[in-house]
Amino acid sequence: MAFPERFSNLPEYAFPRLRTLLDHHAPGGAPIAMTIGEPKHPFPAWIGDVLADNLAGFGVYPTNEGTPDLLAAISGWIKRRHDADVAPSRLMVLNGTREGLFNAALALCPERKRGQQPVVLMPNPFYQVYAIAALQAGAEPVYLAATAATGHLPDFGSIPADVLDRTAIAYICSPANPQGAVASADYLADVLELAEKHDFIVFCDECYSEIWRTAPPPGILRVAQAIGADPERAVAFNSLSKRSNVPGLRSGFVAAGPKGTALIRQLRAYAGAPLPLPLQKVAERLWSDEAHVDENRGLYQAKFAIADKVFDGMQGYQSPEGGFFLWLPVEDGEAATLKLWHKTGVRVLPGAYLARDVDGQNPGKGYIRVALVAPKDEMQRGLEQLRDCLYR
């Protein structure tokens, strides 16, 4: 029996790989999970009421692109948050943004670019669906090291012109997962101008945009509008998972230009999984409410203040601008992860599991990713044990 080869070189996914590394070792203390970015803060209590009021919607096939009311709520949020005018007709509701980050590449990546195999650019380390989307679209993934030297964001200006000419899509994540770096408005404008010059589309993953330290991260939709970029150049993705602490709701959106949206919607009509109507009603209410978002952000800001205190004076510690991860430097991420588990029971993720080797180098190898999602006291205990085990 023949099987496809396009995914044959993929490493094992990060979390099964972590279980292989750790699970045959006993923890050195009460386990504290700081691996997966699954929000643990409470979601709004009124969600249950909205769901109960709309249970009949489970008996109806859901609207594929999203109900008019939900699309209007998302459009209104984009206007309030980013001062960008994005009509509901330029939006589509997603069953979690991972779906959109994957399917939008299939819908918008051409089979050939200037007569050659297209390129999809992405930061390294990165959210792993970017690479899978590129491979499925028949493109060549090109991994751009996002290190301390580049401000933990990809340096698009350093890419050779012939690679840029083959580029069909460039992924950006801001705030970045895992480093927490925020792309400035100038950075986004430069990427959009490069995209115009070399004729590619910028996919901006903004799923952590509402968790920030001192200032809200700029969004690509606002920047694109401000500089007068072609609306087809910028595709934005966002989600309720982190913003509203509802990862199980599986609700996000994609915003694109009119042509791009039409293609994304057409693919969804054939191969997508629309969000059930009762969940769309919950999402509509969540996008319309900012009070719970402000409260959630305050909880994370308090956690980052704890982290800053725990690691005060530690060489190489960098407090992130956004998101809810620490990206901590170590000599070897796998060795540090194993030592930490064996000595303390604190469970983190080796940075190399979120990256790819390029020319024999993995930009995540010298890091561990630590998710600040546990209850505050447990999180502080875990950070202190981590500090004492690995840095003292």
Q: For residue range 74-92, what is the model confidence (pLDDT) as tens digits?
A: 999 999 999 999 999 999 9
| Position 385, amino acid | Q
Residue-range domain boundaries for the chain: 14-42+292-390, 47-288
How would you classify the pairing of strands 140-145 and 119-124? parallel
Instruction: Check: pTM over 0.95? Answer yes or no.
Output: yes
Q: Which tens digit of pLDDT belongs to each residue from 341-359?
A: 999 999 999 999 999 999 9
Q: 31 falls in which pLDDT band (50, 70, 90)? A: very high
Peptide bond connecting 125 to the previous residue in cis, omega within 30 degrees of 0 = yes
Rg (Cα) of the chain, in Å, rounded?
A: 21
Q: 168 falls in which pLDDT band (50, 70, 90)? A: very high
Q: Which tens digit of pLDDT belongs to each residue from 357-371?
A: 999 999 999 999 999
Q: 251 falls in which pLDDT band (50, 70, 90)? A: very high
pLDDT at 33: 96
The backbone region for 42, taken as left when phi is positive above 0, alpha when psi lies in -120 to 50, beta otherwise, is beta
| Position 373, amino acid | V
Closest CA relative to residue 244, chosen from 299, 204, 203: 299
3-class state of residue 263 by DSSP: helix
pLDDT at 5: 83
Is CATH 3.40.640.10 correct for 47-288? yes
Please check whether the two domains, 14-42+292-390 and 47-288, share a CATH topology: no
Please state which architecture CATH assigns to domain 14-42+292-390: Alpha-Beta Complex (3.90)
Q: Which residue carries 């530690």 as its tokens?
A: 314
pLDDT at 115: 95
Which H or E element spans position 205?
A: strand 201-205
